[in-house]
Amino acid sequence: MHGSLINLFIGLVIVVLVATGLTAMIMEWARSGRLLDVPNPRSSHRHPTPSGGGAVIAGLGILSGVAWFLSVSTETPGRLAAAVWAGFALLLTAVSFADDLRPRPAILRLAVHTLAATAILGVTPGWQILALPGLAELQWGILGTFILFLWIVGLTNLYNFMDGIDGLAGIQAVVASAGWILLGTALDEPLLLWLGTTLGGASIAFLIFNWPPARLFMGDVGSAFLGFTFAALPLLALALDPSRNTTMLIACAALVVWPFLFDGLYTLARRIRRRENLFQAHRGHLYQRLVSTGLGHGHVSRVYGFLSLFGVVLTLFWVREDAYSLAITLPTIATLGLFLVLWTRIRESRNTGGQGTVTF
């Protein structure tokens, strides 16, 4: 165990050092005018800033997956699923990078996300049984597959939507990767451990350049890849060992990114309730509303990172399939989510002197 921790630490340090050098090269290349994010009315930055730093995270992540694929025997379960993930992650990354260079039709990106999700579902066992700790199992067949499809496409896009201020997407990636390192260790699954270490190390390196005030942005090339990968990891784990509890894997995957999921779903529900055009660009996410009250990007990003850490801790119950998983998780997430909403509302109320019309 001691030796494994040392190897993990050494591997993490190597990834951070390599990724730091590559990210610095990307920043200099983008700064030359090849890939600058020019501010628009919805932007949170004021000056043209180099973008595309997420290419290093995506590139190293895909290479890590391919390296695992080549290192295992041909009989290893899940090789096909890992190959499909790597191939479609590469396709998604290429399309996203092209979109960073010159905006492409949204329908093209959605088509690629849909194709990638369908491909992953086609080579993994799916989610046929809802098995909650301490409760009866529910056979839900095709409904489970549909939910997984929404999970993959939704998180791929949501991660992009949440990449709107300095440090936020990066710190979420670091915490979520730490969660997958924990899960890889608990499940004794090298691929999860490998990818968690690579994504975590590359994200730490990216944060060096992206922490407020950011010198480099992630770009769609990084955010779309991270969303797709964090959504696909539980399915890869299931493909490697179909006897695993699918519900547990999906719950753990959701918990390590729960602040992003909560913000996205809450914002969607709020916009539907207010009868807003869901296809119109907006600045209604909780993190955007907090920044608009005067909080710094670093402050908001740290809060989201701290909240995400609670999700990582809660995965300890789910990975053991503990009967108290639901009893502990639901009240904790509900309390933390309510805190985020109330904190946002109080900040906005103070900004208007208590006389505003800001609503939940």
The pLDDT value recorded for residue 354 is: 56
Token duo for residue 213: 């005030």
Is residue 176 within 8 Å of residue 182, measured between CB atoms? no
The pLDDT value recorded for residue 41 is: 58
- 356, pLDDT greater than 90: no
**266-313, pLDDT tens digit by residue?**
999 999 999 888 778 788 999 999 999 999 999 999 999 999 999 999
- 320, pLDDT greater than 60: yes
Other CB atoms within 10 A of residue 99 CB: 20
Instruction: Give 31's DSSP letter.
Output: I
Give the highest mean pLDDT range of 57-71, 193-207, 316-330, 344-358: 193-207
The pLDDT value recorded for residue 212 is: 94
- 154, pLDDT greater than 80: yes
- 358, pLDDT greater than 50: no
- 42, pLDDT greater than 70: no
CA–CA distance, 163 with 154 (Å, rounded to integer):
14
Question: What phi-psi label fits residue 20: left (phi over 0), alpha (psi between -120 and 50 degrees) or beta?
Answer: alpha
- 4, pLDDT greater than 80: no
pLDDT bracket for residue 357 (50, 70, 90): very low
Token duo for residue 169: 């997407």
Contacts of 115 (CB under 8 A, 6+ apart): 88, 91
* Residue-averaged pLDDT of the chain: 91
Among 135-139, 197-201, 212-216, 248-252, the range scoring the smallest mean pLDDT is 135-139
CA–CA distance, 287 with 260 (Å, rounded to integer):
10
Give the mean pLDDT of 64-87.
Answer: 86
C-alpha separations of 318 from 174, 310, 315, 333 in Å: 20, 13, 5, 14
